[in-house]
Amino acid sequence: MNHCRCTAPHTPLRVVLTGGPGAGKTAVLEMIRRMMCHHVHVLPESAGIVFGGGFPRGTEEELRRAAQRAIFYVQRELEATALPGDHALVVCDRGTIDGLAYWPGPGDLFASVASSLAEQLARYDAVIHLRPPPLGEGYNHVNPLRVETAAEAAAIDARIALAWAEHPRRFEVPAAADFLSKAMRALAIVRDLLPICCRSRERDASAAAR
């Protein structure tokens, strides 16, 4: 992570990085941590915290509903932890809306947590959707918490796209044969969301890297 010289207070934007399993979120978030200035704050994935901490995971609908409610509440409180501090961007590894792609029904996820889709969409200033590789072209199971097949991952990605479709500031990053070019496209979107003072620092860092 780099430091920039700007000392003016920032009004933080809350940005979601989302996408189906295997889309490359973990790698892109690590690049953001390393390359962006210290005014960019990256939050971990709430599902990873929930399941990595031992929350029961199974195929029963009641268990799946309980898991998505737990992830929703953890996500909301994770975002609350970013309120203190001089952040220009708070980058979330998925957002509350992603739960719609995993909710088994019946009923509505947000009704079950006394909220609504409109209320949750309004929480986020921008959404960057990384699309996973097509079937048979690069999907992997490196993440030990990833249990989906390539076909299931593609179906989840389609549901994620539908869940976020109404957000007014949604960016889509398509799959690419060269993952680095895909990652750099995502980083360029993040950089363009930075305030001018931090953006100039990123240009300096990019020039030095070359």
Give 17's contacts (C-beta < 8 A, 6+ positions apart): 25, 28, 29, 91, 92, 93, 94, 128, 130, 186
How many angstroms separate the CA atoms of 16 and 127, rounded?
A: 5
16, 186 contact by CB (below 8 A): no
Q: Which residues of the chain carry a pLDDT beneath 50?
A: 203-210
Give 74's contacts (C-beta < 8 A, 6+ positions apart): 46, 49, 50
Token reading at 31: 């690049």
**In this structure, is residue 3 part of a structural domain?**
no
| CATH number of the domain to which 134 belongs | 3.40.50.300
- Tokens 């007014």 -> residue: 168
pTM: 0.87
Q: Residue 140's pLDDT is what?
A: 53
E strand or H helix at 41, and its extent? strand 40-43
Q: Residue 84's pLDDT is what?
A: 86
Residue 142, φ and ψ in degrees, nearest 5: -60, -40
Size (the chain), residues = 210
Picking from 95, 53, 97, 101, the residue whose alpha carbon sits closest to that of residue 75 is: 95
Q: Residue 197's pLDDT is what?
A: 83
Give 51's contacts (C-beta < 8 A, 6+ positions apart): 57, 67, 145
**In this structure, is residue 6 part of a structural domain?**
no
**In this structure, is residue 62 part of a structural domain?**
yes
Q: Residue 206's pLDDT is what?
A: 46
E strand or H helix at 17, and its extent? strand 13-18
**In this structure, is residue 120 part of a structural domain?**
yes
Q: Residue 189's pLDDT is what?
A: 97
How many angstroms separate the CA atoms of 74 and 80, rounded?
A: 10
**In this structure, is residue 159 part of a structural domain?**
yes
Q: Residue 177's pLDDT is what?
A: 84
Picking from 113, 115, 99, 121, the residue whose alpha carbon sits closest to that of residue 46 is: 99
**In this structure, is residue 7 part of a structural domain?**
no
**In this structure, is residue 1 part of a structural domain?**
no
36, 178 contact by CB (below 8 A): no
Q: Residue 203's pLDDT is what?
A: 46
How many angstroms separate the CA atoms of 193 and 187, rounded?
A: 10
Domain span including residue 179: 13-209
**In this structure, is residue 119 part of a structural domain?**
yes
Task: Give the total number of structural domains in the chain.
Answer: 1
